[in-house]
Structure 1
């Protein structure tokens, strides 16, 4: 293997049969439930770069795997203006059970993988919607955003390589890694491993052609960053 590890927290919209979110099922195919395009893009990048990958197995509406265990939004009660009614009914025991069944095994698995075969670079892959339903007037012009918190060893060459490739790149946009970076804070910064946090705009990777095109564009960037760190 290449010594690279890809982590995609929000790659699935799966809701276990024993969980009732009490929402319109159409929401499960939208950005509040899953990072659109991330699963196929992540798998293609893993194939292109001989890279191992860890893909979150449940919808972020079941539990947000990119949040700290005690974060208020860990089990969301609303998302982009839509109420997640089933989560509002969850009591303290139900919350503890959901964390124990889904959040802890996921993060324990990442920790074990890193301990067994320490990667030299972690790639965190997410995607973002071109605009939020709650704020439709705020278009997001970036094609890719690079997120980071304290450790910018991979972010800096990543931003430079993306921009050199003609990609409209956000520096801690459309989200700041200084606010939303839980998985990388825990497993990358916590282990002093450099990481490249990539957010790809969802309309660019919403179909097979887009996924292939962006794998073609992002694979060389990841190679460049891996050589730089």
Structure 2
């Protein structure tokens, strides 16, 4: 057990599902200085990601590593020197408890153990493929005119091999899909840049629209649609 992550081992396939923002948990000794109701909001957690990741691990016989704390405690999908690592504002909400927080302590407790767990798991896979799972809100409160048009957005940095396989397959099952907006994996892809692109490991990064994976039926629906796509990408690239 670790407070930094949850490890799900569902089979021997060389598939690692990584979910940086799967949890809204805030340890009891950390006070973010926010209304607790915000912990159910997209600023605290990628809604639906933990459930879809668990379903996919079980369906495909792979392994999943789920981030163990809210992105408001520390953002696991940031470079170690990124300004957003310890957020003091998020979508118009002040995270006042982070202003005087000890970043080095949060890194030691959560950030480093999480990324070390990903590294250890990849090291024992002969031909790994990574699925990076996120979700997004259809619109930001701080920018309500900026609408995200997709049901699934695809995230990647320099390596777009899996993205180019996945997009037509997802379109083929009726999903509205494309490169994510208003930001892309070229801007916010830290975990995959570190573990996949830097090591030549093929990966697929997806972001599901939160209102479509907010309940059990939607989570099952997306897992069923995504499973064959993930296998197709893995088969072509490993």
TM range (shorter): over 0.9
Return the alpha-carbon distance in structure 2 between the equivalents of residues 104 and 56 of structure 1. Answer: 11
Return the alpha-carbon distance in structure 2 between the equivalents of residues 55 and 119 of structure 1. Answer: 21
Out of 121, 129, 143, the residue aligned to residue 135 of structure 1 is: 143
Query: Could you list the runs of 5+ residues in structure 1 that have no partner in the other structure?
Result: none
Count the aligned residue pairs: 226
Q: CA deviation at 1:212?
A: 0.9
Q: CA deviation at 1:207?
A: 0.4
Question: Who is 1:89 aligned against?
Answer: 100
Question: Does structure 1 residue 69 correspond to structure 2 residue 60?
Answer: no
Q: CA deviation at 1:172?
A: 3.7
Give yes or no for contact 1:67–1:74 (8 Å, CA) kept in 2: yes
Question: Who is 1:54 aligned against?
Answer: 65
Query: Could you list the runs of 5+ residues in structure 2 that have no partner in the other structure?
Result: 1-11
Q: CA deviation at 1:69?
A: 0.9
Question: Who is 1:103 aligned against?
Answer: 111
Deviates more, 1:124-133 or 1:170-179: 170-179
Q: CA deviation at 1:118?
A: 4.3
- Report the secondary structure of 1:190's partner residue: helix
Return the alpha-carbon distance in structure 1 between the equivalents of residues 176 and 189 of structure 2. Answer: 21
Return the alpha-carbon distance in structure 1 between the equivalents of residues 108 and 175 of structure 2. Answer: 40
Give yes or no for contact 2:152–2:178 (8 Å, CA) kept in 1: yes
Question: Does structure 1 residue 20 correspond to structure 2 residue 31?
Answer: yes
Out of 198, 212, 227, the residue aligned to residue 206 of structure 2 is: 198
Question: Who is 2:133 aligned against?
Answer: 125
Give yes or no for contact 2:150–2:180 (8 Å, CA) kept in 1: no
Q: CA deviation at 1:173?
A: 3.1
Q: CA deviation at 1:119?
A: 4.4
Question: Who is 1:8 aligned against?
Answer: 19
